[in-house]
Amino acid sequence: MKKKANKRVIGVIPARWASTRLPGKPLAMITGKPMIQHVVERAVQAEALDAVLVATDDQRIADAVDSFGIPGVEAVMTRADHPSGTDRIAEAVANEPCNVIINIQGDEPLMDPLLVDRLAEVMSAGDWDMATAAAPITDEAELNNPAVVKAVFGRDGQALYFSRSVIPHVRDAGTNAADAHWRHIGIYAYRRDYLLKLVAETPCELEKLEKLEQLRALHIGCRMNVLQVEDTGIGVDTSEDIEKVEAILECAPIRRGEIL
């Protein structure tokens, strides 16, 4: 029996061909499989998802996804000029009957399907517009790295701000700042209507300054939950990252729930 449209949860994996550091990244081979196949195979393990779409701008990626022959998985062609993965996802789901969309990063081959299920649960249990995740920062180099986005949230999980700077700032030397700093993980769950509202908004000044599109959501009053998890996984941006992922997979396969 099919779920009603207001109950369906769809996972969408944005996968564009262009990448400054690793062109054709979705089809980069990892242990004999294209990276996008690893991501898809992880995504379909999520029990909350009713379907998985790969939103791409390149026929080579679409053909590869179709060749996997995985039930419930479909490649959707989108425009090539989208400024962000969020815009690409919005086009892909424009005619899809669903309630919640989960944006699964296409360069996270070790993504834990349990995280998808937890985000879907957060969205079903509350009146959140969006949900995302963050993990503790324990390394000072990460803390001071502007490529690592920091998240600050309230006691109910409501996102307060995201920044490339170190937040919160610890004013007094010697203050115990353990558990104060959190790294944002770039996975999002959206209410369908809110996603379409978000992409219709123009970027706000904070977003343009920090180059963080989630600040647009906060700017327009989004109720965004930040789910606390234990680990960030590994995003693939370079050939060195591929080697790290292969080393992990060759030691032992990652199973559901092992990363979080």
- pLDDT above 50: residue 11: yes
In this predicted structure, which of 128-142, 187-201, 245-259 has the lowest mean pLDDT?
245-259
Tell me the HSE value of 181 on the side-chain side, using a 13 A CA sphere.
23
What is the share, in percent, of the chain residues with pLDDT greater than 70?
94
pLDDT(1) > 50? no
- In this structure, the answer to whether residues 174 and 92 fall within a common structural domain is no
In a domain, 242, yes or no: no
Residue with tokens 């791409």: 56
In a domain, 102, yes or no: yes
- Among residues 60, 82, 111, the one where a domain terminates is 111
Same domain, 24 and 91: yes
Asked whether the predicted pLDDT for residue 256 surpasses 90, the reply is no
Q: Could you give the number of structural domains in the chain?
A: 2
Residue 119: the pLDDT is 97
pLDDT tens string 206-243: 999 999 999 999 999 999 999 999 876 788 888 899 99
Q: Determine, yes or no, domain membership for 119.
A: no
**Average pLDDT score over residue span 83-100:** 91
Q: What is the CATH number of the domain that holds 28?
A: 3.90.550.10
Can you give the residue range of the structural domain that contains 175? 127-185+192-232
Beta strands (DSSP E) in 159-206 are: 159-163, 182-191
Question: How far from 67 is each of 45, 62, 70, 75, CA to CA, in Å?
Answer: 19, 9, 8, 10
Taking only the tens place, the pLDDT of each residue in 206-216 is 999 999 999 99
* Residue 37 placed within a domain: yes
Q: How far apart are CA 225 and CA 214, in angstroms?
A: 12
